[in-house]
C-alpha cells in the first residue's frame, strides 16, 4: 500500500515539476522576446520585412557597434547619411556578410570599399541587413526607387549560400510585400519516426528548461562521444554542417527542394535587373559569390553555388565575380590546412568573416571592381 502511494506521489511530483517547467519557461520566453524587441537594432518593415532602425547607434547582430542613417541604412561612424540622388552611386545588396556581422563597420569589406570611394565623392550605399535574400533585395530596391528618388551607376548583389533556403522556407511575397512564411516544415525530416522525433525535440527545446537539460544528459549517457569528436563538433559542427548550405553539395536534396529556392532567387534577380534598367539603362548589375566554411572544409571547388550562378550570369548578360578562390585554393589541401583557413578568416564557431577575412575579401573585390 505504501509503495503504491509512493509511486503516486513520485508521479504527481514529476508531473508538477514538468508543468512548472512549462510555465516558468513560457514566462521567461515572453520576457526574453519583449526585451529582445525593445533592445534590438532591427525593426519590422511593412514592405520589405525588416530593416535596421533609423538613426541608430549601438550594438548590432553579434555585439559589434553599428550606425545607421535616417533611411535605416548602415553607414561609417564618421558619416551622417547617404546622398541617394547621386547618379554615380554604387549599391551593395546582401545579408549579414555584407552588413558585416560581428565586425566594426570600418573593418568590413563594405566599410573598407565605402571609405575608398568616399575620396572620389561616390557613395557605396549598403542596402544589406541580416537575413536578407533576393526577394527583399528587389522589394527594398523598388521601395527606395519609388519613395526616395534613388540614383545609381552600379549594383552589386552578394549572393549568400543561405539565400535559396531563405526564399524557400522563410519568406514569401504577398501583395507586393515580403512576409514571413507560416507553417514551416523541416525539409530534412521525411519518415513518420523522424517527424515524431523532430517535433518532440523541438517542443522540449522550445518550451522547457529542466526537461531539456535532463534529456541532454540522458542522450549523452546513451550516445557517448569521445573527447576529440566532441571538441571538433563544438568548434566546427554548426558552421560546416548548417542545413542552409546542404543544397550546394547534396544532390538528392537539391533535386528535391534546393532547386526551387534557387529558381525563386533567379526570378527576383531578373525583376531587379529589369527595374534597374528602367531607372538607368546604362547601369551595371554584378553578382558576387563567396564560400562558407562548409565549402572550404569539404574542399569543394565545384559547389553548386559557383556553377549555377556562373552559368546563369553568363546567359543573362550579368557580370559575375567569383571570390571562392580567395579562401579555397584550386588544388586539394589536407584537413589541417582547411581548418587553418577557417580559423584564420572566419569568426570562431561562425560562418561570417572576421576582420582579416574582410580585409582579404575587400582587396580582391576591389581588384575585380576596378578591372
Which pLDDT score is estimated for 46? 96
pLDDT over 90 at 255, yes or no = no
Which pLDDT score is estimated for 239? 86
| Assigned C-alpha cell, 142 | 523598388
Which pLDDT score is estimated for 185? 62
Find the mean pLDDT for residues 2-14. 65
pLDDT per position as a tens digit, 43-100: 999 999 999 999 999 988 888 999 999 999 999 988 877 889 899 999 999 999 999 9
In percent, the amount of the chain with pLDDT more than 70 equals 83
Report the distance separating Cα 166 and Cα 91, nearest Å.
22
pLDDT over 90 at 271, yes or no = yes
Report the distance separating Cα 221 and Cα 216, nearest Å.
9
Average pLDDT, the chain: 87
The residues facing 346 across adjacent strands are 353
Find the mean pLDDT for residues 35-39. 54
Length of the chain: 371
pLDDT over 60 at 295, yes or no = yes
The whole-angstrom distance between residue 294's C-alpha and the CA centroid of its chain comes to 14
In percent, the amount of the chain with pLDDT more than 90 equals 57
Report the distance separating Cα 169 and Cα 6, nearest Å.
49
pLDDT over 70 at 270, yes or no = yes
DSSP 48: B
Alpha helices in 94-191 (DSSP H): 96-99, 109-118, 134-148, 163-169
Amino acid at each position: 500500500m505504501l509503495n503504491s502511494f509512493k509511486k503516486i506521489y513520485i508521479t504527481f511530483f514529476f508531473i508538477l515539476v514538468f508543468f512548472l517547467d512549462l510555465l516558468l519557461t513560457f514566462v521567461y520566453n515572453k520576457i526574453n522576446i519583449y526585451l529582445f524587441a525593445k533592445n534590438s537594432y532591427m525593426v519590422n518593415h511593412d514592405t520589405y520585412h525588416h530593416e535596421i532602425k533609423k538613426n541608430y547607434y549601438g550594438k548590432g547582430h553579434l555585439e559589434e557597434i553599428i550606425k545607421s542613417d535616417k533611411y535605416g541604412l548602415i553607414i561609417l561612424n564618421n558619416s551622417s547619411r547617404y546622398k541617394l540622388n547621386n547618379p554615380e552611386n554604387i549599391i551593395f545588396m546582401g545579408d549579414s556578410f555584407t552588413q558585416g556581422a560581428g565586425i566594426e563597420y570600418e573593418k568590413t569589406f563594405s566599410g573598407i570599399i565605402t571609405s575608398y570611394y568616399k575620396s572620389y565623392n561616390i557613395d557605396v550605399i549598403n542596402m544589406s541587413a541580416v537575413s536578407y535574400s533576393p526577394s527583399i533585395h528587389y522589394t527594398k530596391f523598388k521601395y527606395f526607387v519609388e519613395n526616395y528618388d534613388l540614383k545609381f551607376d552600379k549594383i552589386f548583389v552578394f549572393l549568400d549560400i543561405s539565400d535559396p533556403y531563405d526564399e524557400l522556407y522563410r519568406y514569401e511575397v504577398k501583395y507586393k510585400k515580403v512576409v514571413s512564411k507560416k507553417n514551416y516544415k523541416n525539409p530534412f525530416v521525411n519518415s513518420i519516426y523522424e517527424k515524431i522525433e523532430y517535433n518532440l525535440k523541438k517542443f522540449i527545446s522550445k518550451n522547457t528548461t529542466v526537461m531539456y537539460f535532463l534529456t541532454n544528459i540522458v542522450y549523452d549517457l546513451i550516445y557517448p562521444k569521445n573527447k576529440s569528436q566532441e571538441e571538433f563538433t563544438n568548434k566546427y559542427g554548426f558552421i560546416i554542417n548548417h542545413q542552409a548550405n546542404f543544397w550546394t553539395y547534396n544532390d538528392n536534396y537539391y533535386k528535391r527542394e534546393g532547386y526551387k529556392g534557387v529558381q525563386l532567387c533567379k526570378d527576383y534577380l531578373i525583376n531587379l535587373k529589369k527595374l534597374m534598367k528602367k531607372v538607368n539603362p546604362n547601369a551595371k548589375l554584378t553578382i558576387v559569390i563567396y564560400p562558407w566554411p562548409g565549402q572550404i572544409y569539404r574542399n569543394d571547388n565545384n559547389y553548386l553555388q559557383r556553377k549555377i550562378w556562373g552559368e546563369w550570369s553568363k546567359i543573362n548578360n550579368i557580370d559575375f565575380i567569383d571570390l571562392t578562390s580567395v579562401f579555397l585554393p584550386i588544388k586539394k589541401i589536407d584537413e589541417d590546412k582547411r581548418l587553418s583557413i577557417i580559423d584564420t578568416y572566419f569568426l570562431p564557431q561562425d560562418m561570417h568573416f572576421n576582420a582579416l577575412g574582410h580585409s582579404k575579401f575587400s582587396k580582391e573585390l576591389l581588384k575585380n571592381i576596378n578591372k
